[in-house]
Amino acid sequence: MRSKNEIKFYALVLIIVCLSGLRLINLQADFPSGLTVSTALYTDEGLWARNAVAALRSGAWYVEDGYNPILSVPVIPLLQMFLFRIFGVSLVAARSLVATSSLILLGLVYALLRRFLQRELAIWGPLIIAGSYSFFAYSRIALLEIPMLCFAVLSLLIALRKEASYVSIVASAVALYLGILTKTTALFVLPVIYLAVLMQRGSRTKKLFKVMTLTLTLLILFATYYALVVQPFTSDYQTFSDTNISSQVATSSWRFITELKAIARVSLKLYPLLLPLSLGAAFLLLYLRSYRLNPLFLAASLWAASAFLALFSTHYHPSRYFVILIVPMALIIPLAMEATINSPRMRKIKKVALTFAAIIMLTFNLSRITLHMAQPQFTFVRMAESVGVYMRRYSDQNSASLIGEFADTISLVSEVDPVDIKRGSLALEARIKQFNPQLFVSLGEMSDQEFEALSDDYRIERIQTYEVFNNYAQGRPVFLYRLENRQNPAA
């Protein structure tokens, strides 16, 4: 006969399994409203996939407009390329990679907690992640944050042990390297990995050699990548860096202070109950002398501090950036639960803490997830399918080009040749002449600059208006324009 603890454990496992399966349903559905004001929902899924799409449809991964993310963050585009060859190009295939990564992350977090806690407590880590409404939402769209977290946690899992061999140190460095090549933000985990190595058993000399091994491995890997990839494509790499990194870095100390309010607001918006609970758990562990120097607590605390420092370093704070905070929260709360059980001074609040955690995870977040899944919307997919219908009507034998800021994401749904109107080293006028677009898609009215660039060579006719994502981006609908070439009206 199973004990009460076993029954509770398998009940929590069952909840995790149900939530894991739920995130795989209707992957083409819209992202839930209210979590972000960033226009990344329109643009970013296609931008990261554009080289994989190009490889499958044109036979060449390199896109001639000069914006090639695969050169800077190659891991996801390469995996998408593999998936597209098997299942074909689709939005569902792109999103399934991230959904699968989220499931892998649950296993990695459980394995990390299991190294320090009994399974009845360790299972709360993946439950916290699986039951987070914001994490659930972001695990269903094809962005980079969650795959990056998989490599980061894997690196920590390898390094955070009583004693690791030099082979393990190299493996941890490789995992972190892959995380950085998934999304450059993963650099924020580097101090955590160094701390994990320094907390291992052994003499100072041995620890120093391990730190040197970690550092040397990373240097060799990045030097090799620079020589083989960055140097041959310097212009593309610089274009990506200018667009996604340099333009977003905070440049003054006063800026760091002013960002505090924005960071606090977005953090509480995404984790309205989980964040206060995590802070309470952290203060509890600091209060208990026996847990202050717990390796897991120190690693989780440094992860959180490093993540917040990374957020402070930029003036741009879309909610997806805050997904990285879910990991330290999922590590600290189960550890605090153990503290309430083991500490004689904390026995009185044991039931309160456990019940409060259960109410948070199983009532608040799960109700939001259930409500969202019960009423799925498909406005983006329907818009993209409609654009594909218009493209078949107006395209010619030589070109089926769609120009716009989120043309790449539409290409995951409909077979169009996307041309990004804002990104790339090739000048906009040269881009237009080279790709000869038939349709133009925009979020809201086209800008004066876009009109000037297009109107010299094309007659512009608005042919459709779409209500997408409830027009969350400042109330702007999506407009579709036909571009009729003045020199060749049949084009």
> What pLDDT score was predicted for residue 432?
87
Contact residues for 105 (Cβ-Cβ < 8 A; gap 6+):
129, 146, 149, 150, 153
String of DSSP letters for 332-382: HHHHHHHHHHH-GGGGGGHHHHHHHHHHIIIIIIHHHHHHHHHS---HHHH
The structure tokens listed for 344 are 């004689």
Q: At 402, is the secondary structure helix, strand, or coil? A: strand
- Separation between Cα atoms, residue 384 and residue 399, nearest integer Å: 18
Contact residues for 54 (Cβ-Cβ < 8 A; gap 6+):
60, 61, 62, 63
Kind plus residue range of the DSSP H or E element containing 277: helix 274-287
Q: What angle do CA 216, 221, 67 make, to 5 degrees?
A: 145
- Separation between Cα atoms, residue 367 and residue 264, nearest integer Å: 24
pTM for this predicted structure: 0.93
How many CA atoms lie less than 13 Å away from 250 in the CB half-sphere?
18
Residues counted in the chain: 491
Residue stretches of the chain with pLDDT short of 70: 1-2, 246-257, 344-361, 397-398, 488-491
Give the start-to-end residue ranges of the domains of the chain: 4-30+90-374, 379-485
Report residue 487 CA to chain centroid gap.
Answer: 44
Q: Which residue has the tokens 């929902």?
A: 41
**Residue (of 401, 399, 394, 377) closest to 466 by Cα position:** 377
321 contacts 312 by C-beta, under 8 angstroms? no
> What pLDDT score was predicted for residue 190?
97
- Separation between Cα atoms, residue 268 and residue 255, nearest integer Å: 20
Amino acid at position 343, single letter: S
**Phi, psi (rounded to 5 degrees) for 464:** -160, 150
Q: Does the 379-485 domain belong in CATH 3.40.50?
A: no
Measured over the CA atoms of residue 382, residue 384, residue 390 and residue 391, the dihedral's sign is negative
Q: Which residue has the tokens 């003054």?
A: 252
**Phi, psi (rounded to 5 degrees) for 460:** -110, 125
Q: Please give the radius of gyration of the chain, using alpha carbons only, rounded to the nearest integer.
A: 24
